[in-house]
Amino acid sequence: MTQRTRNLLLLAPAGTWFLVMLVVPLTVVLVFSFGERGAAGGYVPAFTLEQYANLPARWAAFKNTLILAPVGTVAALLIAYPLAYYLAVRANPKWKTLLLVLVIVPFWTSILIRSYAWIFLLGGRGIPALLELIGIEGVRLINTPFAVLVGIVYGYLPLMVFPIFVTLDRLDKRLLEASSDLGATRLRTFLQVTLPLSIPGIATGSLLVFILLMGEYLIPALLGGGKVFFVGNALVDLFLQSRNWAFGSAVAATLVIIMLVTVTIYMRLISKLGAQREDVSLM
């Protein structure tokens, strides 16, 4: 057996699996998106652009996603950056690894349980009840865009901290010393040295969070209470309640296309900024 045959044999199970469980299903989605809805739900073969023409019917879901995904990404970035900076530059090296692990660990635990915790905290007997004790009454937090935003930041903060930490940690600290030796203020050093050099980390973190947010379902479902819904919620409704497979496929295909386009434009912008994308893994 030649080496090439052996390698191909080793690839065969994974290849078959990807073919049957990834390539075929995604192709079916694309094909169905040009089809028609059956009388009892499901799919009837056809070739029509009707489903795509019908997309404005779900405009609200797309609008919410396209607003809250970027806003959530920026909010996570703003909260994550100072922490990543502290961990990489200021924290005691002895504790650095432990502190970093403490940030990442929640990400690998159930997002369902972690979002559920916020139903608990933001619900009527959680934070609003505490606020009443100090005289602030009538605050409603659960089932608002704010609650969804809190859930998003809480859920994806670790994913943002990690890549930024990695770039800041690798940054040559002598550059910072040189900058201050040359009379730059701390702020100026940060704006002209640290921040530009950490762009690859910012880019990777934002990209990861943004991609996950575009397909989010759980957080708006649990914390938005049906009032704040994403494309993901529309998809669950279309596939599991109204069983409109053709239209649902068109919505799913559109979501993926929007994602690919925004991600491509974003990567172009980042590489124009002169930064190179660094691959960082989460473990």
Partner 1 sequence: MRLYSIFVYLFLYIPIGVIAIFSFNAGRHASQFQGFSTQWYGKALNNPFVMDALQTSLTVAFFAALFASVFGTMAAVALQGIKGPVRTVFDGLIYIAVMIPGIVIGIATLIGLVTLFDLLNPAIAALWPEGVTAPKLSMGMGSLIAAHTMFTMALVVIIVRARLAGMDRSLTEASSDLYATPMGTFRQVTLPMILPGVLAGFLLSFTFSFDDFIIAFFVAGSETTLPIYVFSSIRRGVTPEINAIGTMVLAASLILLVTAQILLRRGEKKKT
Contacts with partner 1 in 20-49 (CB under 8 A)?
A: 20-29, 32, 43
- Asked if residues 4 and 16 have their Cβ atoms less than 8 Å apart, the reply is no
**Binding status of residue 136 toward partner 1 by CB under 8 A:** no
Return the range that interacts with partner 1 (CB under 8 A); candidates 50-58, 85-93, 173-181, 191-199.
85-93
Rounded alpha-carbon distances, angstroms, from residue 227 to 56, 147, 222: 18, 11, 11
Q: CB-wise, 52 or 182, nearer to partner 1? A: 52
Considering only residues 143, 249, 250, 275, which one is a binding residue for partner 1 as defined by CB under 8 A? Answer: 249
Shortest approach of partner 1 to residue 201 CB, angstroms? Answer: 17
Q: Which two tokens stand for residue 84?
A: 């990543």
The 8-class DSSP code of residue 38 comes to -
Considering only residues 44, 78, 112, 175, which one is a binding residue for partner 1 as defined by CB under 8 A? Answer: 112
Q: Position of tokens 């002895």?
A: 94
Shortest approach of partner 1 to residue 259 CB, angstroms? Answer: 7
Considering only residues 48, 67, 74, 110, which one is a binding residue for partner 1 as defined by CB under 8 A? Answer: 110
Considering only residues 77, 218, 219, 250, which one is a binding residue for partner 1 as defined by CB under 8 A? Answer: 218
**Binding status of residue 164 toward partner 1 by CB under 8 A:** no
**Binding status of residue 255 toward partner 1 by CB under 8 A:** yes
**Binding status of residue 11 toward partner 1 by CB under 8 A:** yes
What residues between 169 and 198 interact with partner 1 by CB under 8 A?
none
Q: CB-wise, 77 or 111, nearer to partner 1? A: 111
Q: CB-wise, 202 or 214, nearer to partner 1? A: 214
Residues whose CB is less than 8 angstroms from the CB of residue 133 and which lie 6 or more positions away in sequence, other chains included: none
**Binding status of residue 259 toward partner 1 by CB under 8 A:** yes
- The size of the interface with partner 1 (CB under 8 A), counted in residues, is 79
- Asked if residues 207 and 77 have their Cβ atoms less than 8 Å apart, the reply is no
Return the range that interacts with partner 1 (CB under 8 A); candidates 176-184, 190-198, 207-215, 269-277.
207-215
**Binding status of residue 5 toward partner 1 by CB under 8 A:** no
Shortest approach of partner 1 to residue 18 CB, angstroms? Answer: 5
Shortest approach of partner 1 to residue 143 CB, angstroms? Answer: 13
Rounded alpha-carbon distances, angstroms, from residue 62 to 155, 231, 258, 274: 21, 6, 10, 32
Q: CB-wise, 64 or 182, nearer to partner 1? A: 64
What gap in Å lies between CA 51 and CA 33, rounded to an integer? Answer: 7
**Alpha-helical regions (H) of the chain:** 3-18, 24-32, 50-53, 59-85, 93-104, 111-122, 127-133, 145-170, 173-181, 186-189, 195-197, 199-214, 218-223, 231-236, 245-272
Q: Position of tokens 């994308």?
A: 277
- Asked if residues 68 and 145 have their Cβ atoms less than 8 Å apart, the reply is yes
What gap in Å lies between CA 249 and CA 238, rounded to an integer? Answer: 9
